[in-house]
Structure 1
Amino acid sequence: MSVSTDGSVLTVTIGAESDLLRVRTTLRSESQAAGLGLTAATKFVTAGSELARNIIRYAVHGQGEVLIEPLQQQGGRRGVRATFVDAGPGITDLDAAMTDNFTTGGGLGLGLPGSRRLVDEFSIDSGPNRGTTVVITQWAR
């Protein structure tokens, strides 16, 4: 597991359960740097932790990465974006996966829809045999 930076974008590789702490720590640090309050930061970190866990659980060899970047709009509003990427088998039925209680891995089925509810912006791109990319964004109030 490593953390690297490319300008203002941090990349955290994900390959084992032990990497979840690094993901959470980095998400929290970047949330605080962006001026998110405690509640917004906690929601962002919780959503990101679940998405990182999904990479470990479902991606090929549990491998993926998260790209974390600070955001600033023209009016000065600040936020943080995290992009979770894996080259796993992809999600066959994305509509079903985005409904509560749907699971293919024996969990509670709250991961993707729960993560979506926690953040200000959420997008997902996935399909059979092309991996999954999830982007979450949280804005400071």
Structure 2
Amino acid sequence: MAHAPGDDGTGGSRAGSSAGAPQAAPATYPVRTDEDLITVRHAVRAATVEVGFGLVDQTRVVTAASELARNAYIHGGGGTVTIEFPRSAGRRGVRLVVRDEGPGIPDLEAALVDGFTTGAGLGHGLGGARRLMHEFEVHTEPGRGTTISVTRWTAQ
């Protein structure tokens, strides 16, 4: 039996779904070190394979995860990435929920524009992640951190 990313295999790695097919359980990963960023990328890649994405969509999701996790690490002082496996209208998906407790994003509209950067990056992080995924939602509050939820769906 396959296990959800990060599952130690001691039980509870699968839950039945209304469609009758097994569904992977959500898994949460810390984002506090460079090594954590690598772990997140590997876990997200495994999740996309489990859901059945082709190579192009796998790359889209892993790229978005890399950008968002790196932002949480660099700008948010660290945080977590949770990988979820939603289902809707006969489709399967991968949802990433990236949380940090950093300073928040002071100007979200500006941060979503390509070329915006607060550091040495190219400024494609948030806007690029938004374009790579089907759903993109940001909750940010100055001094209280940021939560970004993104989802990519399989074709029906």
What is the TM-score with the length of structure 1 in the denominator? 0.90
| Distance in 2, Cα, partners of 1:11 & 1:127 | 22
Q: Please report how far the alpha carbon of residue 76 of structure 1 lies from its aligned counterpart in structure 2 after TM superposition.
A: 2.2
| Distance in 2, Cα, partners of 1:42 & 1:124 | 22
Which residue of the partner structure matches residue 131 of structure 2?
117
Q: Please report how far the alpha carbon of residue 128 of structure 1 lies from its aligned counterpart in structure 2 after TM superposition.
A: 1.0
Residue pair 1:4, 1:12 contacting (<8 A) in 2 also: no
| Distance in 1, Cα, partners of 2:7 & 2:119 | 31
Runs of at least 4 residues of structure 1 off by over 4 A?
3-7
Gaps of 5+ in 1: none
* Greater relative CO (CA pairs within 8 A, separation 6+): 1
Percent identity between matched residues is 46
Aligned match for 1:34, one of 51, 56, 63? 51
Which residue of the partner structure matches residue 19 of structure 2?
none
Aligned-CA RMSD value? 1.6
Which residue of the partner structure matches residue 126 of structure 1?
140
| Distance in 2, Cα, partners of 1:31 & 1:20 | 17
Aligned residue runs from structure 1 range 1-141, under 5 A: 3=6, 8-59=25-76, 62-73=77-88, 75-141=89-155
User: In the alignment, residue 140 of structure 2 is paired with which amino acid?
Assistant: S
User: In the alignment, residue 149 of structure 2 is paired with which amino acid?
Assistant: V
Residue pair 1:123, 1:136 contacting (<8 A) in 2 also: yes
How many aligned residue pairs are there?
A: 136
| Distance in 1, Cα, partners of 2:119 & 2:55 | 31
| Distance in 2, Cα, partners of 1:54 & 1:95 | 16
Q: Please report how far the alpha carbon of residue 4 of structure 1 lies from its aligned counterpart in structure 2 after TM superposition.
A: 5.9
Higher Cα Rg, which structure: 2
| Distance in 2, Cα, partners of 1:23 & 1:41 | 13
Residue pair 1:4, 1:11 contacting (<8 A) in 2 also: no
Gaps of 5+ in 2: 1-5, 14-24
Residue pair 1:37, 1:140 contacting (<8 A) in 2 also: no
**Higher percent of residues as helix:** 1
Residue pair 1:64, 1:87 contacting (<8 A) in 2 also: yes
